[in-house]
């Protein structure tokens, strides 16, 4: 079976980490070798950039600086983790990819599509995920969930509610614009129901047993 690149997207507290772990278990049951990774991060240099982006004051960077940093980290991640794994025949499941940059910086910070698409062409080229699962959640619900997490990687969580509303609208616009690649999953429900929808989407996309 050909290697596949699956990405998970969604706002803060949408449950991506939980759902990625559940999908990983199903892939193991199907004897599919896969790499779990994340953005920003997933490679040594990219992890250094991650610390600059997800910690500190909310006004630490403007939208342009953030986008540039995200794509620098993404390039390192692709070169040193994603592309080598795919070339070796492994599937890759990634917590966030370029749709997050479009949603967070393009919509949330108001940069618009054009600069994000231009940076994508420079850093990524023609490469695209095979399937993107967008976990859609009410921002107020997601932020309440996220508030229960520990650690200092909360810079985006601390941005105002208007930002998170724009963020959700951005993810929904991406799903609407690319229905062949993206599946919008209602993440307001219990995790078992969300996981079932995710597996149906993966199995349907890649002809796996339901």
| pLDDT score, position 147 | 85
Cβ-count burial of 46 within 10 angstroms (0-12 exposed, 13-18 middle, 19+ buried)?
Answer: buried
Q: Which residues pair with 186 in a beta bridge?
A: 136
- Residue 70's alpha-carbon distances to 125, 139, 200, in angstroms, are 15, 22, 31
Q: What are phi and psi of 128, to 5 degrees?
A: -140, 155
| pLDDT score, position 150 | 64
> What domains, with CATH codes, occur in the chain?
5-206 (3.40.50.300)
Q: Which residues pair with 96 in a beta bridge?
A: none
| pLDDT score, position 179 | 97
| pLDDT score, position 56 | 95
Rounded Cα distance between 133 and 53, Å, is 23
What are the residues whose beta carbons fall under 8 Å from the beta carbon of 40, sequence distance 6 or more?
46, 47, 49, 50, 53, 54, 69, 70, 73, 74, 77, 96
What confidence tens digit (pLDDT) does each residue in 123-174 have? 999 999 999 999 999 999 999 988 877 678 999 999 999 999 999 999 999 9
The DSSP string of 153-199 is --TTTTS-HHHHHHHHHHHHHHHHH-TTTEEEEETTS-HHHHHHHHH
Residue 112, Cα to own-chain centre: how many angstroms? 18
What confidence tens digit (pLDDT) does each residue in 80-124 have? 999 999 999 999 999 999 999 999 999 999 999 999 999 999 999
What confidence tens digit (pLDDT) does each residue in 44-67 have? 999 999 999 999 999 999 999 999
| pLDDT score, position 38 | 98
What are the residues whose beta carbons fall under 8 Å from the beta carbon of 101, sequence distance 6 or more?
67, 70, 71, 74, 116, 119, 120
- The predicted model scores a pTM of 0.96
Nearest to 91, CA basis, from 24, 161, 181 = 24
Mean per-residue pLDDT of the chain: 96
What are the residues whose beta carbons fall under 8 Å from the beta carbon of 180, sequence distance 6 or more?
none
């Amino acid at each position: 079976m050909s290697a596949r690149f699956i990405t998970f997207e969604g706002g803060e507290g949408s449950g991506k980490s939980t759902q990625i772990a559940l999908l990983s278990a199903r892939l193991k049951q199907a004897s599919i070798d896969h790499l779990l990774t994340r953005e920003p991060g997933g490679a040594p240099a990219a992890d250094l950039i991650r610390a600059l982006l997800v910690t500190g004051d909310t006004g630490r960077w403007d939208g342009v600086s953030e986008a540039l940093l995200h794509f620098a980290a993404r390039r390192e991640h692709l070169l040193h983790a994603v592309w080598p794994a795919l070339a070796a025949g492994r599937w890759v499941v990634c917590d966030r990819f370029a749709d997050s940059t479009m949603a967070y910086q393009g919509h949330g910070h108001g940069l618009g599509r054009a600069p994000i698409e231009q940076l994508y062409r420079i850093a990524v080229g023609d490469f695209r995920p095979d399937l993107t699962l967008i976990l859609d959640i009410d921002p107020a619900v997601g932020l309440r969930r996220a508030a229960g997490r520990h650690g200092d990687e909360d810079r985006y969580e601390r941005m105002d509610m208007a930002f998170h509303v724009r963020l959700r609208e951005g993810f929904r616009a991406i799903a609407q614009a690319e229905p062949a690649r993206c599946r919008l999953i209602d993440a307001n429900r219990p995790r078992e129901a969300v996981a079932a929808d995710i597996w149906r989407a993966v199995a349907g996309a890649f002809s796996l047993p339901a």
